[in-house]
Amino acid sequence: MTSTLPRVLVIGCGFGGLEAVRVLSKAPVEITLIDRTNHHLFQPLLYQVATAGLSAPAISAPIRHTLRAQMRRGNLTILQAEVTQIDAGTNRVTLDDGASLVFEHLIVAAGATHSYFGNDAWARFAPGLKTLADAFDIRARVIGAFESAERCEVAAEREAWMTFVIIGAGPTGVEMAATMSEIAQHTLKDEFRRIDTRQARVVLIEGSDRVLGSFPPGLSQRAREQLARIGVDVRTRCKVTRIDADGVTCEVQDAALTTTLRLPSKTVIWAAGVAGAPLGRALAASSGAGLDRAGRVIVQADLSLAGHPHIAVIGDLACAKSHGRGEPRPVPGVSPAAKQMGRCAAANVQRRLRGKRTKAFRYIDYGSLASVGRKAAVVDLAVPPFGALRFSGLLAWLFWLFAHIYFLIGFRNRLVVMIEWAWAYFTFERSARVVAQPPATIHT
**Which residues would be at the binding site for a second copy (CB under 8 A)?**
1, 36-39, 55-58, 60, 62, 64-65, 68, 71-72, 76-82, 95-97, 99, 131-133, 136, 143-144, 147, 150-151, 153, 188, 190-194, 412, 415-416, 419-420, 423, 427, 429, 431-440
Minimum CB distance to a second copy smaller for 383 or for 434: 434
Contact partners, residue 355, CB within 8 Å, separation at least 6? none
Q: At its nearest, how many Å lie between a second copy and the CB of residue 268?
A: 21
Minimum CB distance to a second copy smaller for 281 or for 414: 414
Q: At its nearest, how many Å lie between a second copy and the CB of residue 337?
A: 25
**Contact (Cβ atoms closer than 8 angstroms) between residue 14 and residue 336:** no
**Contact (Cβ atoms closer than 8 angstroms) between residue 311 and residue 106:** yes
Helix (H) or strand (E) holding 141: helix 132-151
Minimum CB distance to a second copy smaller for 46 or for 232: 46
Minimum CB distance to a second copy smaller for 58 or for 370: 58
Minimum CB distance to a second copy smaller for 143 or for 347: 143
Q: Of the listed 19, 30, 175, 420, which one is catalytic? A: 175
Omega before 332 cis (within 30°)? no
Q: At its nearest, how many Å lie between a second copy and the CB of residue 108?
A: 18
User: 66-97: b or e for each residue (b if 16 or more CB lie within 10 Å)?
Assistant: bbeebeeeebbebeebebeebebeebbbbeee
User: 332-344: b or e for each residue (b if 16 or more CB lie within 10 Å)?
Assistant: ebbbbbbbbbbbb
Q: At its nearest, how many Å lie between a second copy and the CB of residue 376?
A: 24
Helix (H) or strand (E) holding 94: strand 92-95
**What burial class does residue 157 get, using C-beta atoms within 10 Å of its C-beta: 0-12 exposed, 13-18 middle, 19+ buried?**
middle
Minimum CB distance to a second copy smaller for 150 or for 159: 150
Return left, alpha or beta for 231; rule: phi > 0 is left, psi -120 to 50 is alpha, else beta.
left
> CA-CA distance, 2 to 413, in Å (whole number)?
37
Residue 286, SS3?
Answer: helix
Q: At its nearest, how many Å lie between a second copy and the CB of residue 64?
A: 4
Residue 103, SS3?
Answer: coil
**What burial class does residue 293 get, using C-beta atoms within 10 Å of its C-beta: 0-12 exposed, 13-18 middle, 19+ buried?**
exposed
Minimum CB distance to a second copy smaller for 125 or for 136: 136
Would residue 206 show up in a list of annotated catalytic residues for this protein? no
Q: What amino acid occupies position 62? A: P
Q: At its nearest, how many Å lie between a second copy and the CB of residue 344?
A: 27
CA-to-CA dists, residue 216 to 212, 213, 312, 380, angstroms: 8, 8, 32, 8
Q: At its nearest, how many Å lie between a second copy and the CB of residue 31?
A: 11
> CA-CA distance, 395 to 242, in Å (whole number)?
39
Q: Which long-range contacts (CB under 8 A, 24 or more apart) does 399-403 make?
A: 399/369, 400/369, 400/370, 400/371, 403/369
* Residue numbers annotated as active site: 175
